[in-house]
């Protein structure tokens, strides 16, 4: 069984400040981990993924995430927030055991950017 916990349903940062969105996972098998972003009235767009290669993963729009097995975490960061980053962010996990695994999502974090 897998689960994802995202701490903070809402995170507010100032434009230009560091963005940190937290994600902790639970998985009985080596996980694949993903961050998706959802802009208003749109679908989910993949930001980045961890698939057992490098533990520091770089994604689109300047985001990156670090896989820490000892902490079962996969936190998302961006050094300098931009107004266009305002959106809902979802962390997701799937098993690496093969097959068409469904993704297990966290509840999401709404990122608010203050001017």
Partner 1 sequence: EPEVTQTPSHQVTQMGQEVILRCVPISNHLYFYWYRQILGQKVEFLVSFYNNEISEKSEIFDDQFSVERPDGSNFTLKIRSTKLEDSAMYFCASSLLAGTNEQFFGPGTRLTVL
Instruction: Choose between 35 and 81: whose C-beta lies nearer to partner 1.
Output: 35
The answer to whether 88 and 21 are in contact (CB under 8 A) is: no
The answer to whether 67 and 33 are in contact (CB under 8 A) is: yes
Instruction: Choose between 81 and 108: whose C-beta lies nearer to partner 1.
Output: 108
Alpha-carbon distance values, 77 to 18, 92, 98, 99, 100 (Å): 7, 16, 29, 30, 29
Instruction: Choose between 41 and 70: whose C-beta lies nearer to partner 1.
Output: 41
Among 7, 44, 77, 86, binds partner 1 (CB under 8 A): 44
Instruction: Choose between 7 and 103: whose C-beta lies nearer to partner 1.
Output: 103
**How far is 95 from 52, CA to CA, in rounded Å?**
11
Among 25, 34, 67, 74, binds partner 1 (CB under 8 A): 34
Mark residues 49-78: x for contact with partner 1 by CB under 8 A, - for none: x-x---------------------------
**How far is 67 from 55, CA to CA, in rounded Å?**
5
Cα end-to-end span (Å), the chain: 41
Among 35, 67, 74, 90, binds partner 1 (CB under 8 A): 90
Q: Which residues bind to partner 1, rule: CB under 8 A?
A: 32, 34, 36, 42-46, 49, 51, 90, 92, 94, 96, 98-108
């Amino acid at each position: 069984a897998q689960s994802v916990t995202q701490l903070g349903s809402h995170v507010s940062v100032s434009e230009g400040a560091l963005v940190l969105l937290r994600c902790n996972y639970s998985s009985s098998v080596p996980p694949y981990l993903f961050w998706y972003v959802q802009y208003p009235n749109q679908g989910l767009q993949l930001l980045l993924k961890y698939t057992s290669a490098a533990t520091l993963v770089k994604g689109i729009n300047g985001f990156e995430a670090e896989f820490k097995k000892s902490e079962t975490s996969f936190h998302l960061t961006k050094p300098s927030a931009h107004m266009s980053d305002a959106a809902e962010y979802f962390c997701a996990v799937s098993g690496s055991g093969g097959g068409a695994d469904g993704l297990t999502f966290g509840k999401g974090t709404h990122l608010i950017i203050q001017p």
